[in-house]
Chains A and B, each alone.
Chain A
Amino acid sequence: MHITQGTFSFLPALSDEQITAQAKYCLEKGWSLNIEFTDDPHPRNTYWEMWGTPMFDLKDPAGLMYELAECRKVHAGRAYIRVSAFDATPGWESLRLSFITDRPAEEPGFMLERQERGGRMIAYTTRAYAADRPAGARY
């Protein structure tokens, strides 16, 4: 199940050239870039892990692509990786753009659980199949 989170997630996977172009766009806007990864695909999981520190002074997308390559060496095929762009001009870091660059080789998707409650009420829960296994061993 192809997870749709962030910008471009309804499109086919971005090529490196397309990622570079997006990074270039962000840098031209004066935003700083950041790489994060996770193996917990739940849409409410906002706590992705940071790959290194945010990159504040890049002049060229090559810096991002270099770090993305380093991140892929460790996590490619076994986690989601995303790039985010932050704008500090309001006086705080605000997110402007965030998109997934890499996905696990397989995305088994979610189990929809229905809990029947009193008065014929139903509570719904989505649970990622991958999350059955411990963190680090999911994909």
Chain B
Amino acid sequence: MDANPDTKIDLDAAYLRSGVAEILDELDRELVGLRPVKLRIREIAARLLIDRLRREFGAGGQAPTLHMSFTGNPGTGKTTVALRMADILHRLGYIRTNQLVSVTRDDLVGQYIGHTAPKTKEILKKAMGGVLFIDEAYYLYRPENERDYGQESIEILLQVMEQRRDDLVVILAGYADRMDRFFTANPGFRSRVAHHIDFPDYGDEELFAIAEKMLASQHDRFDDGAAAAFRDYIAARRRQPHFANARSIRNALDRARLRQAVRLFEGRGRPMPVSDLITLVADDILRSRVFDHARAEEQP
């Protein structure tokens, strides 16, 4: 079909029909912060929608390359966003399932000669039709070991990323600096990845908002004392090793719930209002070891 330049297109109707609006709104509502990421996703969604319309109306437009790289520190939401990405691409008709297969080096690379190619292909086949998410992708490449089987896996991946673009979207994820080195050493990947999206660290306020969302999703809440204590907790935790943004928050809340359970259990002799079951108090937070470290640091 040739494009008739006078045909009127209802972009808004197409947008609504795709159902992508709901996912984008959900993304906005459910994920705290991540402004630059959300912006990029909107851009990609807009681009895809326009491309699809172009093809529908015979005005050219080819399925674009959609392989992406997500860089950022642990716990900044890369995996979470990748899952949403699979939904978005599916609604826009760029992949046939909203399935995301999440792998790391060990799933792709074998232990002995002849083991790697079947392993990598097996994963690729499973992921086809949807999204393949390779976490900490730089581990695929081990320059210090010249007989490393990772290279074999990389070559198969590159080939499929290039030749089977309609069948598979690959998202590579990892720390920014190491991904940079990975792309420098493997220019084939850089040229096949169309979208590089950076995930910034969360600020204290954002982490607090994330904590509240996590609590709300389990019908839990902080009382006033716990909320204040948790703000202090975030500030202290950030300065300690192995801080992992939202993941540290999730872990902290899990431990606080454990302490809450012990506290309630120890007071079981008395009658207790139901609201106690769902309320974290200051003490549940303050008894964290994070505060011991923080206090120790303050001493000379």
Query: Which residues of A does B touch, CB under 8 Å?
Result: 52-53, 55, 57-67, 70
Query: Is the beta-carbon distance between B167 and A66 smaller than 8 angstroms?
Result: yes
Query: Is the beta-carbon distance between B124 and A66 smaller than 8 angstroms?
Result: yes
Is B168 positioned at the interface, with any CB of A under 8 Å from its CB? yes
| Residues of chain B in range 157-178 having any CB-CB distance to chain A below 8 Å | 160, 164, 166-168
Nearest A residue (CB) for B124: A66
* Minimum distance in angstroms from B161 CB to a CB of chain A: 13
Query: Is the beta-carbon distance between B128 and A52 smaller than 8 angstroms?
Result: no
Would you list the 7 A-B pairs with minimal beta carbon distance, nearest first? A60-B129, A63-B125, A62-B167, A62-B128, A63-B128, A57-B126, A60-B128
List, in ascending order, chain A residues with CB within 8 A of B102's CB: none
What are 12 A-to-B residue pairs whose CB atoms are below 8 Å? Answer: A53-B118, A58-B126, A59-B129, A59-B130, A60-B96, A62-B128, A62-B166, A63-B129, A66-B121, A66-B164, A67-B125, A70-B121
Query: Is the beta-carbon distance between A63 and B118 smaller than 8 angstroms?
Result: no
Size of interface on B: residues with Cβ below 8 Å to A:
18
Query: Is the beta-carbon distance between A62 and B168 smaller than 8 angstroms?
Result: yes
Nearest A residue (CB) for B98: A59
Instruction: Give Cα A55 to B122, complex, Å.
Output: 8
A60-B160 contact given A52-B118, A53-B118, A67-B125, CB 8 Å threshold: no
Query: Is the beta-carbon distance between B118 and A59 smaller than 8 angstroms?
Result: no
Query: Is the beta-carbon distance between A62 and B118 smaller than 8 angstroms?
Result: no
Query: Is the beta-carbon distance between A59 and B167 smaller than 8 angstroms?
Result: no
| A-B pairs under 8 A by CB, number | 48
Is B97 positioned at the interface, with any CB of A under 8 Å from its CB? yes
* Minimum distance in angstroms from B126 CB to a CB of chain A: 5
Query: Is the beta-carbon distance between B124 and A59 smaller than 8 angstroms?
Result: no
* Minimum distance in angstroms from A107 CB to a CB of chain B: 30
List, in ascending order, chain B residues with CB within 8 A of A58's CB: 125-126, 128
Query: Which residues of B does A touch, CB under 8 Å?
Result: 96-97, 99, 118, 121-122, 124-130, 160, 164, 166-168
Seed contacts A62-B128, A62-B166; 13 additional CB < 8 Å A-B pairs: A52-B118, A58-B128, A60-B128, A62-B96, A62-B129, A63-B124, A63-B125, A63-B128, A66-B121, A66-B124, A66-B125, A66-B160, A66-B164
List, in ascending order, chain B residues with CB within 8 A of A52's CB: 118, 121
Nearest A residue (CB) for B167: A62
Nearest A residue (CB) for B96: A60
Nearest B residue (CB) for A60: B129
Query: Is the beta-carbon distance between A63 and B126 smaller than 8 angstroms?
Result: yes
Query: Among A53, A57, A60, A64, which residue has its beta carbon within 8 angstroms of that of B97?
Result: A60
Instruction: Give Cα A65 to B128, complex, Å.
Output: 10
List, in ascending order, chain A residues with CB within 8 A of B126's CB: 57-59, 63
List, in ascending order, chain A residues with CB within 8 A of B129's CB: 59-63
* Minimum distance in angstroms from A63 CB to a CB of chain B: 3
The residue among A53, A62, A64 with the most chain B CB atoms within 10 A of its own CB is A62
Instruction: Give Cα A65 to B130, complex, Å.
Output: 15
Query: Is the beta-carbon distance between B128 and A59 smaller than 8 angstroms?
Result: yes
List, in ascending order, chain A residues with CB within 8 A of B168's CB: 62
Instruction: Give Cα A64 to B167, complex, Å.
Output: 11
Nearest B residue (CB) for A55: B125
Instruction: Give Cα A112 to B122, complex, Å.
Output: 43
Instruction: Give Cα A60 to B129, complex, Å.
Output: 5
List, in ascending order, chain B residues with CB within 8 A of A59's CB: 97, 99, 126-130
List, in ascending order, chain A residues with CB within 8 A of B118's CB: 52-53
List, in ascending order, chain A residues with CB within 8 A of B124's CB: 63, 66
Query: Is the beta-carbon distance between B121 and A60 smaller than 8 angstroms?
Result: no
Instruction: Give Cα A67 to B125, complex, Å.
Output: 8
* Minimum distance in angstroms from B281 CB to a CB of chain A: 46
Instruction: Give Cα A59 to B101, complex, Å.
Output: 11
Instruction: Give Cα A67 to B160, complex, Å.
Output: 12
List, in ascending order, chain A residues with CB within 8 A of B99's CB: 59
Nearest B residue (CB) for A67: B125
Instruction: Give Cα A60 to B128, complex, Å.
Output: 6
List, in ascending order, chain B residues with CB within 8 A of A64's CB: 125
